[in-house]
Structure 1
């Protein structure tokens, strides 16, 4: 099936997602970790129930309103491809959402929680119905079919269709072109049916948000799911502000960009009074050569060598243009991931550079936590438990605050290994057991969680 390029907007498949370590996985089992490099007997594990996050605690946007207004314009009046969107569109009136067919219990619960957030934080009149003619329909699709429709996308949303069959019938039609809309009346979100609970939830957050509002993704955003670096798993305080702005009663579908942006400063002053001070720096636009290099580096049909070259090119482009923060940190992170099996020293240098780029910016805590997981692997190989503990303490807090169960579980596993190295086996085991429930949500099943434990336990250790 040809990808319906004009209509698809979605969460990009991050081929580097998941921890890339320096040792192959040990055999999978549901009851033990094997092997233990320190000579310990295999550890028998009793899995707890799947863990889930409680009430969200999104951080309010900290950037000036003038900067947020510029981001709103870029998000709302341009597609990811760079094509302009001629008029402002949204759903008008109450919005209904439904699943096409049955949904896993975890996904159903995540939808309930997300709709409650959209009502409370974004002020959107939205509710779930069972079947019927819902405005937004969510369908789980076999992954091969989804990848044929939109190569490289983990999930996506399409306008003016209700289900997969209708998308197939209209795959060549301007009907599914977002730029032809004058108002939003129907959209469908497609999610791979084999995704983990966390992956389904992450898709749900981004694709439902794009069905409702912004259709673009901007690599420079530090505090948003509308960024193809996929560092944020769930809608942030910034995202909810953007959606609240999208559904302000003063705006309506069919308005031009000039008409909308004439009202946005006043709306932001009312919705986000804390952002009134200052204008903030004007962020240089992300150029197509950098984006193209990153997309090549992340996967697709490119060879490993070409991917490494593309990542190095993205780093060089950012350095030449003086970029810092999200874009340069992400380029270094991707470069480091691709160098692990080829040049570990170069990989560690890239991770350290990524950590420096992210710095102590509170908007980039989750980005730094992803890097910390990679740095912890090197510290474990070096038998340096103090560094692991120093890296994982703030990273665990960030992963928990940003509701990333997969990352939280991995960080706990590393911290448990550090405690073992310090001669604290009871504390290590307690933390390791705590990681399992989060791992079930993040990785999907016991075998996948055991695989992550095996990867970390099987890392080679330098002589002490």
Structure 2
């Protein structure tokens, strides 16, 4: 499932830990006329997935942990997948933005993962996308934005199966049907993100691993569009050398030859030997970025996550993510300390081969703080260098936030015409990233992170 804990908490919120849109809304409200109505979401160009930058030995370990465990940690006895061509249908009620995003995703799955998947009309398909109100999803899974269930094709079937205790992936031996439940009233980007993660899970891995850097199969939700790594995992999942019903040992015996064939470059990559993520660290980071508990409690949890990461000797993105989480929780009360944490996070991310998007998030937070501290030139440098990263990873919400921060920095350096042009260009991305009813707000500048007078 896609966790709201992270997907709503990672965008810019330098004032309040869970307010990603405040920066964008406030900055654009200042100078953009209310009758400006750019089209819903600008379109990204051709996908730009990056080939996996990991050793095949590491990918094999990841594959086994992804394929033979659930997110809860419960083991799965056998590999399961759809055997033969896969059909997908969309139930009634889907918003207009879904169709082009779905077509783009299915094309990538066919071309990059080699999966024979086709959208069909009618009342039957292997995978059914079911739009439902967000409140219905929240009633079932309070911290999920969307989820996938085996053996059903509708909300009514899901409710009946749930009451009968027949919704467990541990009982599946071969995938035949599954339903992906999507929030019909979500912002277009959130809906697209759900398509990527939940269709990928309907097809392949059911687990998430924090140790994965450049992957949607990671509960930090930094990546929300399937990456080159993810497509390799899915291609391996549907390789003829594997089949439903194989146990972990059988799959492990096949993977070295399979991955050498699919990913020759991975044969010469060094294995970083990233250790498993401890349960105490997971619980600490979930508390830190959650919406429950006081700010003091969440700040203490972030400090625990950082302490645990250091104690484990981690030098990967998990250490940077702990710094990032603590920085977010310090932004409202102690900007100097927050800046130190974001800088530490960025140093960690910059040293890694697969953390460019992580680095962009840290840079965005640093840019927001630079504006608060009266350093617009620093904000300009930080935002301009990261906008191509947001584009490449198709993150409209992050891109709109970066552009809005850049517009504020331009205005602060007396470049008003440039600021207005950048702000106007950001609106289409913002409406895709934050929702079509996004209008910039009227007086949100007073509560935005860009206002240095605001506390947490």
Alignment CA distance shift 1:159-1:13 (3 Å): farther
C-alpha distance in 2, partners of 1:232/1:155? 16
Aligned-pair CA distance for 1:409: 0.6
User: How do 1:40-51 and structure 2 match up within 5 A?
Assistant: 42-44=31-33, 46-50=36-40, 51=42
Aligned-pair CA distance for 1:461: 8.0
User: Residue 434 of structure 2 is aligned with which of 428, 443, 448?
Assistant: 443
> Contact (CA 8 Å) 2:14, 2:328: kept in 1 or not?
no
User: How do 1:139-150 and structure 2 match up within 5 A?
Assistant: 139-150=130-141
Q: Does 1:459 align with 2:433?
A: no
User: Residue 21 of structure 1 is aligned with which of 6, 14, 22?
Assistant: 14
Aligned-pair CA distance for 1:172: 4.5
Alignment CA distance shift 1:10-1:422 (3 Å): closer
Structure-1-length-normalised TM-score: 0.90
1:175 match: secondary structure:
coil
1:220 match: secondary structure:
coil
Alignment CA distance shift 1:342-1:22 (3 Å): same
User: How do 1:102-181 and structure 2 match up within 5 A?
Assistant: 102-181=93-172
> Contact (CA 8 Å) 2:94, 2:184: kept in 1 or not?
no
Aligned to 1:79: 70
> Contact (CA 8 Å) 1:152, 1:300: kept in 2 or not?
no
1:447 match: secondary structure:
coil
2:147 match: secondary structure:
strand
C-alpha distance in 2, partners of 1:264/1:135? 26
C-alpha distance in 1, partners of 2:256/2:20? 53
Deviates more, 1:325-334 or 1:440-449: 440-449
Alignment CA distance shift 1:25-1:369 (3 Å): closer
Q: Does 1:272 align with 2:263?
A: yes
C-alpha distance in 2, partners of 1:26/1:400? 18
Alignment CA distance shift 1:13-1:139 (3 Å): farther
Q: Does 1:432 align with 2:423?
A: yes
1:105 match: secondary structure:
coil
User: Residue 247 of structure 1 is aligned with which of 238, 248, 251?
Assistant: 238
C-alpha distance in 1, partners of 2:112/2:28? 43
Q: How many pairs are equivalent?
A: 448
Q: Does 1:89 align with 2:52?
A: no
Summarize deviations over 1:111-170 as a string: whole Å, max 9, x none. Answer: 111111100000101011123211111112222221121121121111111111111112
1:195 match: secondary structure:
coil
> Contact (CA 8 Å) 2:26, 2:444: kept in 1 or not?
no
Deviates more, 1:256-265 or 1:273-282: 273-282
Summarize deviations over 1:181-210 as a string: whole Å, max 9, x none. Answer: 110011111122221000000011000000
Aligned to 1:367: 358
Summarize deviations over 1:402-439 as a string: whole Å, max 9, x none. Answer: 00000001101111112222222222211111111111
Aligned to 1:201: 192
Alignment CA distance shift 1:12-1:413 (3 Å): closer
Summarize deviations over 1:370-396 as a string: whole Å, max 9, x none. Answer: 111111111111221221122112211
2:397 match: secondary structure:
helix
Summarize deviations over 1:54-109 as a string: whole Å, max 9, x none. Answer: 22110111111111111111111111111111101000011111112121111111
Structure-2-length-normalised TM-score: 0.92
C-alpha distance in 1, partners of 2:68/2:450? 49
RMSD: 2.6
Deviates more, 1:364-373 or 1:173-182: 173-182
User: Residue 379 of structure 2 is aligned with which of 373, 388, 392?
Assistant: 388
Q: Does 1:356 align with 2:358?
A: no
> Contact (CA 8 Å) 1:21, 1:459: kept in 2 or not?
no
Aligned to 1:376: 367
For structure 2, the residue ranges without an aligned partner over 5 or more in a row are none
Aligned-pair CA distance for 1:304: 2.5
> Contact (CA 8 Å) 1:32, 1:43: kept in 2 or not?
no
Aligned to 1:222: 213
User: Residue 405 of structure 1 is aligned with which of 391, 396, 406?
Assistant: 396
> Contact (CA 8 Å) 2:372, 2:449: kept in 1 or not?
no
Q: Does 1:182 align with 2:173?
A: yes
> Contact (CA 8 Å) 1:405, 1:438: kept in 2 or not?
yes
Aligned-pair CA distance for 1:302: 2.5
Aligned to 1:260: 251
Deviates more, 1:200-209 or 1:100-109: 100-109
C-alpha distance in 2, partners of 1:104/1:215? 26
For structure 1, the residue ranges without an aligned partner over 5 or more in a row are 1-8, 37-41
User: Residue 298 of structure 2 is aligned with which of 286, 290, 307?
Assistant: 307
> Contact (CA 8 Å) 1:11, 1:203: kept in 2 or not?
no
